[in-house]
Amino acid sequence: MHAPTPVATESAGGHPARKWLRWSFYLLSAGLVAAIAWGLSYIVREGGGSLPVLKQAPGFQAQDLDGRTVTLDTLRGKIFVITWFYTHCPDVCPLTMYRFEQIQDRLRASGELGRQVVLVAVTLDPARDTPAVIRTYAGHFHADPRAWYFLRATPAQTAAMLRRWGIVTESGPKGQIGHTSQVDLVDENGNVRAEYVGADLNPDRVVQDIQGLIERMRWGV
């Protein structure tokens, strides 16, 4: 009589292949959780994720230097930084434009200029700031027309935009226009996420806020 053939049984640890698959799943899950946590902490750390929604950006309609109409809906899907200027401005406007040039250079270096972010400058003085005058002015700041939009509108449209955006102006005796030195950061959904003072604009801070918003878009939060 032959002894019964022993039946193979799995040890408590299971088959080696199954055990490896199980550990691989645990490691992948842990890695995914860690990646998400890192991404969220980056967003908060870099600023964009912690920027509150201040308000819905007011609608506007203006034309670029080639006569194309630009509206808030035109810019939807991109982050943009918007400010107000006039070419005869002797002080705060050129300083703000210089800061915009620095922001442009940093965004170009990181590959985000135009693709995800654009800059917008709207004239307060459409009567004197013709497209030709603005084009020359923009050239002083090496503005990239594909990603830095200089806009002008009719006097009535300009007045309506200034009112909606809360820009206060005051005409001087020699053609000067005193105005609110305001810069707004608007996200891809048309929400104002930050407001800065043009005279004190810090390009590094603005770019940091922009990149935080880009990371938030990437992670869908």
β partners of residue 55: 192
CATH number at residue 83: 3.40.30.10
> Are 127 and 26 in the same domain?
no
The token pair that represents 47 in the structure block: 């600023």
Instruction: Answer whether residue 21 shows pLDDT above 60.
Output: no
> Are 70 and 179 in the same domain?
yes
Q: What pLDDT digit, counting tens, does each position of 102-161 carry? A: 999 999 999 999 999 999 999 999 999 999 999 999 999 999 999 999 999 999 999 999
List, as own/partner pairs, every contact residues 23-31 make where C-beta atoms lie below 8 angstroms and the sequence separation is at least 24, other chains included.
Answer: none
Name the domain count of the chain. 2
User: Which residues have a Cβ under 8 Å from the Cβ of 100 and sit 6 or more positions away?
Assistant: 81, 83, 119, 121, 141, 143, 148
Residue at 184 is within a domain: yes
> Are 77 and 139 in the same domain?
yes
Residue at 64 is within a domain: yes
Q: How confident is the model at residue 27, as a pLDDT? A: 46
| Mean pLDDT for all residues in the chain | 84
What is the arithmetic mean of pLDDT over 63-91?
97
β partners of residue 183: 83, 196
Q: How long a stretch of residues is the chain? A: 221
Residue at 217 is within a domain: no
What is the arithmetic mean of pLDDT over 13-37?
48
2 is in an annotated binding site: no
HEC profile for 154-206? CHHHHHHHHHHHCCCEEECCCCCEEECCEEEEECCCCEEEEEEEHHHCCHHHH
93 is in an annotated binding site: yes
User: Distance (Å, rounded) from C-alpha 119 to C-alpha 140?
Assistant: 16
> Are 36 and 126 in the same domain?
no
Beta-strand pair 148-151/117-123: parallel
Q: How confident is the model at residue 216, as a pLDDT? A: 87
179 is in an annotated binding site: yes
3-state secondary structure (DSSP) of residue 80: strand
Residue at 1 is within a domain: no
> Are 144 and 163 in the same domain?
yes
Residue at 103 is within a domain: yes
Instruction: Answer whether residue 29 shows pLDDT above 50.
Output: no
Q: How confident is the model at residue 206, as a pLDDT? A: 98
- Confidence class of residue 4 from pLDDT cuts 50, 70 and 90? very low
What is the arithmetic mean of pLDDT over 39-66?
74
Instruction: Answer whether residue 165 shows pLDDT above 90.
Output: yes
Residue 33 vs residues 27, 28, 30: alpha-carbon distances, Å: 10, 9, 5
> Are 146 and 192 in the same domain?
yes
User: Distance (Å, rounded) from C-alpha 36 to C-alpha 128?
Assistant: 52
Domain that holds residue 31: 17-46
Report the share of the chain in percent with pLDDT over 70. Answer: 77
> Are 141 and 106 in the same domain?
yes
